Amino acid sequence: MTKINWESITIKEFAGIVSYALKKNNIDAVLVGGACVSIYSGNKYLSYDLDYSSYNTIKEIKPCLEEIGFKQTAPNRFEIKKCKFYIEFVTWPVTLGGSKAITKFNKLDSGKGIVTLLTPTDCVKDRLAAYYHWNDPQSLEQALLVAKNQKTNIKDIEAWSEKENKSEEFKLFKKELEFK
Amino acid sequence: MLETILGNSTIERILFFIAVYKEGYAKQMADTFSISLNGVQQQLNRLEEGGVLVSQKKGNTRIFTFNPRYIFLDELKNLLNKALKLLPEKEKKKYYRNRTRPRKTGKP
């Protein structure tokens, strides 16, 4: 592999390198959270924190990341010198709230490796979940960024919002989305 | 009661506390149960890292609640509620009947 310039790397390339290093060691990990928003919005929102969900333990993950120069800086966090991005591992399985886990993901070729991540529709739901549960306006903004930049299934998001008893909040999201 | 499956009694108390009061912070729980603050903080961190709890900072205090995205949340709440019902009445009164309704500032 050619030398990586960690200082100037993009989030998509970073995610590709990390995913490749894990996959090489037979570890499946799904990129979730704000990093998906960055990728889907073309960096209109930039996250420095890449949340991965994996069934594997930190003990199993650690040597794969150390191999490419990462250091563990907290129980679930890994960082690399001179790089603004860092990785955190969140619990498995990937959920959006409720008792259903997400099992279908998107695959994206970053040029440095294949990244498994939330689909744009689930990414919008993920952000809306934070808006619904914690009334977080930043999450609403991020959901809108993804929905405006990617093809998403709005009917599916509406049905999910209804199940979450958040139809009123969904209406606000839809109104903002239609506002040009 | 659940400490065998939860790992220790501090975790059991933290989860009972959140199940009853919906939220809490480390010192509040340590004071309620007269246990070490450090022990409560350690277990809160463990529960947060495991995705069971989430925390939000309000002023200088970190408030913990159940993580609405925790996949076993419904099952966990059912288990905790069943166990809470089986607690001796004395225990329930001592720890799980604290006043939570508002009290006007300055009122004794």
A11-118 is classed in which CATH architecture?
Answer: 2-Layer Sandwich (3.30)
Mean pLDDT, rounded, for A94-112? 89
Given CA atoms A58, A53, B19, B3 in this order, what sign does their dihedral have?
negative
Domain boundaries defined on chain A: 11-118, 121-178
Contact list in A for residue B56 (CB cut-off 8 A) is: 134
Q: CA end-to-end span of chain A, whole Å? A: 44
CB contact under 8 A, B50 and A95: no
Measured between CA atoms, how close is B73 to chain A, in angstroms?
8
Confidence (pLDDT) at A115: 97
pLDDT of residue A180: 55
Among A113, A109, A107, CA closest to A68:
A113
pLDDT of residue B9: 93
Task: Verify whether the Cβ–Cβ distance B68 to A97 is below 8 Å.
Answer: yes
Closest Cβ opposite residue B71 in set A76, A95, A129: A95
Q: Is the pLDDT of residue B70 over 70?
A: yes
**Residue A4: pLDDT over 90:** no
**How confident is the model over B41-59, as a mean pLDDT?**
95
Structural domains of chain B, count: 1
pLDDT at A150 over 60: yes
Note whether B57 contacts A: Cβ–Cβ < 8 A. no
B7: contact with A, CB 8 A cutoff: no
How near does any CA of chain B get to the CA of A99, in Å? 5
Average pLDDT, chain A: 93
What mean pLDDT is predicted for residues B28-43? 96
- Is the CB of B89 inside 8 Å of chain A's CB atoms? no
A6 alpha-carbon distance from chain centroid: 20
Between chains, do B49 and A76 touch, taking CB under 8 Å as contact?
Answer: yes
Residue range A11-44, pLDDT digits in tens: 999 999 999 999 999 999 999 999 999 999 999 9
The confidence score (pLDDT) of residue A71 equals: 97
Rounded to a whole number, what is the distance in Å from the CA of A89 to chain B's nearest CA? 9
A164 to chain B nearest CA, in Å?
Answer: 11
Q: pLDDT of B75-94, one tens digit each? A: 999 999 999 999 888 888 88
Is A177:A141 a contact under the CB 8 Å cutoff? no
The residue range of the domain holding B50 is 3-95
pLDDT of residue A1: 55
pLDDT at position B93: 86
Strand-strand pairing, B23-24 and A77-79: unpaired
> Are residues A14 and A117 in contact, defined by beta-carbon separation less than 8 angstroms?
no
- For residue B100, pLDDT over 80 is answered with no
Residue B97: per-residue pLDDT: 83
Angle at A123 between CA B57 and CA A180, to 5 degrees: 95
Tell me if residue A106 falls in helix, strand or coil. strand
Q: What is the pLDDT of residue A2?
A: 66
Residue B66's domain is classified under what CATH number? 1.10.10.10
Among the residue ranges B12-16, B35-39, B55-59, B95-99, the one predicted with the least confidence is B95-99
Band (pLDDT 50/70/90 cuts) for residue B25 is very high
ipTM computed for the complex:
0.72
Which of B23, B58, B69 should we substitute to test contact with A (largest number of A Cβ atoms within 10 Å)?
B69
- Under an 8 A CB cutoff, do B71 and A99 touch? yes
How far is the CA of A157 from the CAs of A32, A96, A125, A161, B91, in angstroms? Answer: 17, 12, 6, 6, 45
**Do the domain assignments include residue B105?**
no
- For residue B96, give both structure tokens: 């799980």
Of the pLDDT bands very low, low, confident and very high (cuts 50, 70, 90), residue A179 is confident
